[in-house]
Amino acid sequence: MKELLKTLGFIAIFALFLFLLRQYVFTPVIVKGDSMDPTLHDGERVIALKQTEIERFDIITFIAPDDTGRNYIKRVIGLPGDQVVYQNDTLYINGTAYDEPYLEAYKATLDDGFPLTDDFDMSLFNETEVPEGKLLVLGDNRRISKDSRQLGLIDETAVLGDVAFVFWPLADFGRLEND
């Protein structure tokens, strides 16, 4: 009987430990859809770290602002105070052109003469820069992604975590690089 109580106590403490980790440190996420291709694929399982500082080009998961009850996974392009412009398939932040190496292989496959990312600027959001407390996010598969261009700027408080690790399928297992 004493051994059974020890085992049950261990199981309870372990379950509490896992619950606290899941609640405050990380959350598992299943990628649904093709909006993050070629970086993330439909059906992949990833780990999103909570309590991390979000930086430009991080991939985040957040609560959908369109009241669908869904969560989205997108890449952070604009931080508060940034002036973001896309022109001729080139990203400009605060007047400086930025390379997006995570898109290069995908862009190379496009042969229809159209850009991966259509031109837009902050006037799309009736703003001159990303306001405090907001983020501008885009999916890597820009032609089909439902992102800030349709949803609007995302509240920083809606961010659930910073996607850092792919754990399934095993062929894609490893740390997710944001460049």
User: Could you confirm whether 123 is annotated as catalytic?
Assistant: no
Contact partners, residue 163, CB within 8 Å, separation at least 6: 29, 40, 46, 47, 48, 58, 59, 60, 61, 73, 176
**In this structure, how many other beta carbons lie within 10 angstroms of the beta carbon of residue 158?**
16
Can the peptide bond before residue 169 be classed as cis, meaning omega within 30 degrees of 0? yes
User: Could you confirm whether 148 is annotated as catalytic?
Assistant: no
CA dist 68 to 59, 72, 73, 157, Å? 21, 11, 14, 17
Catalytic residue among 2, 32, 50, 74: 74
Side chain identity at residue 130, one-letter code: V
> Encoding tokens for residue 129?
């820069």
Q: Note whether 150 and 116 are within 8 A (CB).
A: no
Catalytic residue among 35, 134, 145, 148: 35
Q: Give catalytic residues, as residue numbers.
A: 35, 74
